[in-house]
Amino acid sequence: MLITICVILISPIAETFLKRNITGPEPYVLMLLAATGGIIMAGANDFIILFLGIEVLSISSYILAAMNSRRIQSQEAGLKYFVLGAFASGFLLYGIALLYGATGSTSFSAIKNFTQEVELTNDTLLLAALALIIVGLAFKVAAVPFHFWSPDVYQGSPTPFVAFMASAVKAAGFAAILRVLYVTLGEYQADWQPVIYAIAIATLLTGSLLAIVQTDLKRMLAYSSISHAGYLLVGTQAASDQGVKAVLFYLATYAFMAIGSFTVVAINSGDTGIQTDLNSISGLATRKPLLAITFTIFLLGQAGIPLTSGFFAKFYVIEAAIEERSYLLAIIAMIAAVIGAFLYLRILVKVWLLEPEKDQKGIKLHIPIEIGLVLAIAVIATMFFGIWPEPLVEMVQRAIPALIPG
């Protein structure tokens, strides 16, 4: 459902901002194919089906990243994404092959039954399979140290498709991680929890710290997205129903904030779509006050400020970590939130306190009705679930049983 909502919200953005450079139905077909792959990933009960969904999603995403043939940066982004993604898919497929060799099945339920009878540390093949699968899935969600593709791809790809990657692709990736680790390999949680623990710490700190030193808005939001993946890994590491609830809640709320943020960047980037440096956002409050307020809400939500959905998203994942007695991880998550707040404050200073750049003065930012509607929906969701999160929490709790394979 979340992936479908993302496609619905991003389609008018793509229609508005890509029609000057990209014609034809290809972007929408590819986006629907990617969404289909994501839905297959979220509902897979077998590793073969899971891998099929991942490849449908990935191949479509590679092409979307390189869709703007008039920009060399877009071509470069697509090529980098493809080459590194192919390596990650190779790791994942090799891990699935080893898992099949160890268990004799690719079915989630059969593997789960097998893990109840065999100790992981007693089976080298099984141990290698788990390691390779974690590497492959970590790449898909841009977790450190498998994140190197993310900033370049986010910066070079067309902005509407970056919004799709940050929302729908990330949601599909974490749905796959939850199904594999929490459901299928839940018996081995004592073995994989320390690995996810370490990856979560590295992802939180790397994303937050490197975001601060960037000078391009899309790269800043790319590293911010890496940091958000760290929070999602905090909930995954908890390996509990509370942790799963926190991850699903975070994915839902972050999707609206990410789509909204990248939509504002697309509006501000001009007719060419390449004006994405940090200074280009200077004086946005003077040029388009309502758009500046909208952008502020999205950034405050990502920072986890109260009265936004981002506050409860971070609260739930940290609560899940504390319940699991992962106190150090919870503390690092809070430190990363403070560092991230500085990043968003840096952007807001440009928006509200500085004058527009000379080349930006006199340029009117036109917001079509359909784009205004997308922004309004994203703002309402960010504020509504920040004041009254219970409806979304109830939806998430009803979704948890769907993770259990039949």
pLDDT at 171 over 90: yes
Average pLDDT of the chain, as a whole number: 89
Would the pLDDT of 361 be above 90?
A: no
Residues 6 or more apart in contact with residue 288 via CB below 8 angstroms: 365, 367
Percent of the chain past pLDDT 90, that is, above it, reads: 55
Instruction: State the residue range of the domain holding 59.
Output: 2-403
Rounded to the nearest 5°, which phi and psi values hold at 216?
Answer: -115, 130
User: Residue 368: which pLDDT band, with cuts at 50, 70 and 90?
Assistant: confident
Q: Rounded mean pLDDT of 283-294?
A: 89
Q: Which residue has the tokens 């590679």?
A: 62
- Does 405 score more than 60 pLDDT? no
pTM score: 0.94
CA distances from 342 to 102, 154, 298, 355 (A): 48, 21, 15, 20
pLDDT class for 16, splitting at 50, 70, 90?
A: confident
- Calpha distance 351→397 (Å, rounded): 38
Is the pLDDT assigned to residue 273 strictly greater than 70? no
**Number of other CB atoms surrounding residue 23 within 10 Å:** 9
Three-state secondary structure call for residue 269: coil
Total number of domains in the chain: 1
Q: What is the pLDDT of residue 128?
A: 92
Whether 170 and 251 have beta carbons less than 8 Å apart is answered as: yes
Rounded Cα–Cα distance for residues 105 and 245 (Å): 29
Residue 1 reports pLDDT greater than 90: no
For 96-148, the pLDDT digits (tens) are 999 999 888 899 889 998 888 888 777 888 899 999 999 999 999 999 888 88
List the one residue out of 222, 214, 390 whose CA is nearest residue 302: 222
CA 276 to chain CA centroid, Å, is 20
Reported confidence tier of residue 294, pLDDT bands at 50, 70, 90: very high
Total count of residues recorded for the chain: 406
Instruction: Return d(Cα 247, Cα 229) in angstroms, integer.
Output: 10
CB 181 within 8 A of CB 108: no
